[in-house]
Structure 1
Amino acid sequence: MRLIIVGAGAIGCTLAALLAMSGQAVTLLARGDTLDAVRRDGVRLTRIDGTHQVPVQVTGVPDGLGPQDAIFICTKAHSLGDVLPGLAPLIGPETCVVPMVNGVPWWYFQGVSGRLQGRAIEAVDPGGGLLAMLPWQQVLGAVVLITAERTAPGTVHSTNPLLLVLGEPDHTEHPRTHRLAAVLRAAGIDARVSTAIRDNVWTKVIANLTSNPLSVVTGATLDRLYSDPDIVPLVRKILHEALQVAAAYGARFPVDLQSFLAQGAGMGAVRTSMLQDFDQGRPLELAAIGDAIIELAALQGIDMPVTKDVIALARFRSKAARACASSPHASTTPIRVSQREAHA
């Protein structure tokens, strides 16, 4: 298959390295320091079995590559509107576009019947711009259950098991889905095919919602978010609000509360992608992970007061940190506090 990965962050580099190691022809679309680093050294991927230095074909522009069989878009959800138009040279009539992004996907109301059929989700697709750029029939739903952290340009650390669920937006079976899943399995990724991809979307959305914004507010890693007695009550409240919305859309959530908390804590001292973005001063995916779910809740007449408050706090912290970093008076000297001040 002709495969290209758009976005050379933690997930994109992990996927590119694994596919290349399996012998699959794959191209990584990157830019800046990452483009230079991968051209020079390949992708440096640390897995549980050690560190691999993997040569990967990389380019900074999509021109000249021609239509691809599949395009994995591994950018942030809020970047899709900027990224998708530039991929036109790669998209032919049979090209499958796989958005590997967090949160509620822009195609959620496509390919299904009901009163909301064909509707755009304003939080992730204002005015339906993404829907207008690409027919939903060329989109393949993906739920990414991969933890990875970019430690330097072209350098990634990912030691947990890798799971990727693929499914058609109209919940049918299609040969392309099984073919792509087979390629991913050959690369060591547990790739599964779902005929009810929205159930899988909700499972991941709820995991994101109960962890990402709270990680920005608290600074906690996954093990602490799902086990600390001061944080778990908040997690439970957000979880119950989200489950009510998921149920309103007919989604099935296959995990009970205690198992959900145990699985989250069992991920270890992993910093969420949103916490990584916060630490690097990058924009947060609050629209896709938070605002879109609140929008879906409002369409069903459901309120999410705790979720709204936590998202507002995360957004405030992000704005304040970025404003401080851009201030001409910002100091790079660490602030030292006394024991009394630390407990105040």
Structure 2
Amino acid sequence: MKIAIMGAGAVGCYYGALLALGGHEVTLIGRPQHVEAMNRDGLRLERAGESVFVPVQASTEAEGALDAELVLVCVKSADTEEAGRALRPVLGADALVLSLQNGVDNAERLQAALGRGVIPVVVYVGTDMAGAGHVRHHGGGRLVLGGHLALAKLFTRAGIPTEISSNVQGALWSKVILNCAYNAISAIAQMPYGRFADFPGAERVLRDVVDECLTVASRLGVTVPGDMHEVVSQLAVLMPEQRSSTAQDLARGRPTEIDYLNGYVVRQGEALSIPVPVNRTLHMLVKMLEKKN
């Protein structure tokens, strides 16, 4: 299958590498320094102590998605509409579009920009870009799809554990709650999950963040599956060396996605008259650091 990845960052490159290794024709669309390195040497995938160079095509333009049968949109939340507008004139009528992004409403926003259906996907993976065209895997990799069994089978055959959910909105909220709990604190402290989770008082802060998010989700009519307090506490055990994407963005002087994580919960809380003081504080502190950068 011909597959395009719009947004050749850590998430896009990781899944692009696995799909290419699975025999698919993959084109990664991203920043010039990554595109140049990938076209010259291939995409470097580092995981489980090993490093391989994966042959891929790469482009800086949305035209790289021309004739693609499947398009994975992995851009930052703030770039969703721009990515949709760029892709709209080049997508074939039968192309399937998936949103592999943080946040709750990206698939809806992307759908409006494209004027066509978008399949939401929840991503559970720890990755970072270790250099130009060099993606490093820290753990995880599971996807949760809203419907479409054939796609789940395609990903699974490429070594990407994938499940179908009848409650994809709840699954999206589950991921957002994880992000709200870890991303801002990891960014403010510039610490990996395993280090700050054991810090005195961290467990209580994480619990407060989760409780605020669950209250907002409940009032919106969303059923969040599982025990989110247990899920949040286990993340630091499963990915002790992972720094959040927000921490990586701040360290590189780039805008973060915090407006679509804790900031989203703050906006929904305000609209519903629900106090969310911990999420509000974390959101404000990250925004201050963004401005300082």
Whether TM exceeds 0.5 here: the answer is yes
Structure 2 residue aligned with 1:134:
114
**Superposition deviation, residue 65 in structure 1:** 5.4
Instruction: Choose which of 230, 233, 236 in structure 2 pairs with 1:261.
Output: 233
* SS of corresponding position for 2:68: coil
Unaligned runs of 5+ in 1: 109-124, 168-172, 323-344
Matched, 1:230 2:177: no
| Structure with the higher helix share, 1 or 2 | 2
Matched, 1:11 2:11: yes
Structure 1 residue aligned with 2:218:
247
Q: Given that residues 226 and 265 in structure 1 are in contact (C-alpha distance below 8 angstroms), is that contact kept between their aligned partners in structure 2?
A: no
Instruction: Choose which of 267, 278, 281 in structure 2 pairs with 1:306.
Output: 278
Q: What is the TM-score of this pair, normalised by structure 2?
A: 0.93
The amino acid of 2:137's aligned partner reads S
Q: Given that residues 227 and 265 in structure 1 are in contact (C-alpha distance below 8 angstroms), is that contact kept between their aligned partners in structure 2?
A: no
Q: What is the TM-score of this pair, normalised by structure 1?
A: 0.79
Structure 2 residue aligned with 1:214:
185
* Cα distance in 2 between the residues matched to 1:18 and 1:50: 14
C-alpha RMSD of matched pairs (Å) = 1.9
Q: How has the CA–CA distance of structure 1 residues 146 and 64 changed in structure 2, closer, same or farther, with 3 Å as cutoff?
A: closer
**Superposition deviation, residue 244 in structure 1:** 0.9
**Superposition deviation, residue 259 in structure 1:** 4.9
Q: Given that residues 225 and 265 in structure 1 are in contact (C-alpha distance below 8 angstroms), is that contact kept between their aligned partners in structure 2?
A: no
* Cα distance in 2 between the residues matched to 1:29 and 1:106: 19
Q: Which has the larger radius of gyration?
A: 1
User: Would you identify which runs of 4 or more consecutive aligned residues in structure 1 move more than 6 Å?
Assistant: none
Report sequence identity in percent: 29
* Cα distance in 2 between the residues matched to 1:215 and 1:49: 24
Instruction: Choose which of 244, 255, 280 in structure 2 pairs with 1:272.
Output: 244
| Structure with the higher strand share, 1 or 2 | 2
Q: How has the CA–CA distance of structure 1 residues 148 and 65 changed in structure 2, closer, same or farther, with 3 Å as cutoff?
A: closer
Q: Which range moves more in the overlay, 22-31 or 267-276?
A: 22-31
* Cα distance in 1 between the residues matched to 2:120 and 2:164: 10
* SS of corresponding position for 2:27: strand
**Superposition deviation, residue 161 in structure 1:** 2.7
Unaligned runs of 5+ in 2: none
Structure 1 residue aligned with 2:170:
199
Q: Given that residues 5 and 72 in structure 1 are in contact (C-alpha distance below 8 angstroms), is that contact kept between their aligned partners in structure 2?
A: yes
* Cα distance in 2 between the residues matched to 1:143 and 1:178: 15
* Cα distance in 2 between the residues matched to 1:138 and 1:145: 23
Structure 1 residue aligned with 2:73:
73
Q: Given that residues 76 and 101 in structure 1 are in contact (C-alpha distance below 8 angstroms), is that contact kept between their aligned partners in structure 2?
A: yes
Structure 2 residue aligned with 1:151:
130
Matched, 1:164 2:151: no
Structure 2 residue aligned with 1:111:
none
